[in-house]
Amino acid sequence: MYKMNEEYSIGIPEIDEQHEKLFGLINDAQTLLKDENILYKYDRLAAILKGMKNYADRHFRTEVSLMEALAYPELESHIEAHDGFYEKVNSFHLDMETISLGTQDKIISDLLAYLESWLQVHIKDCDRRIALHSKELASRY
């Protein structure tokens, strides 16, 4: 199970709070994958994907607003990463069109791998650079 801790904290409370929502979605997906009492996982997986889209809609707007306010130099590449997240969510939705008992756990495993990678690459690196830029600007004044 994933928990928000210092390793993932970027030090901007609003962003960190929103990241906690992503941890909840990852934990939901892990629980779903391990639950052998659920035969057909479509509905719960669909709810997780919907949660990912809702998370992204709110969180990415918050980040972009912050980056614009900070005149963040990596804004465009960061937006491209966000666009890639949306593309991946859409890809998982397409996978859902052909889901079966034999493929559902593979889809969930792929989803988990993607989200775990997102935590490592995007949150711990890309998002942290926003916070560093913010601190750098604050130290100038």
Q: pLDDT by residue (tens digit) across 117-133? A: 999 999 999 999 999 99
Q: pLDDT by residue (tens digit) across 51-110? A: 999 999 999 999 999 999 999 999 999 999 999 999 999 999 999 999 999 999 999 999
CA atoms within 13 A on the CB side of 56: 20
CA atoms within 13 A on the CB side of 43: 3
Burial (CB < 10 A; 0-12, 13-18, 19+), residue 123, is buried
- Which domains, from first to last, does the chain contain? 13-139 (1.20.120.50)
pTM for this predicted structure: 0.91
φ and ψ at 103, to 5 degrees? -110, -15
State the average pLDDT over residues 6-26.
Answer: 94
pLDDT at 3: 86
pLDDT at 92: 96
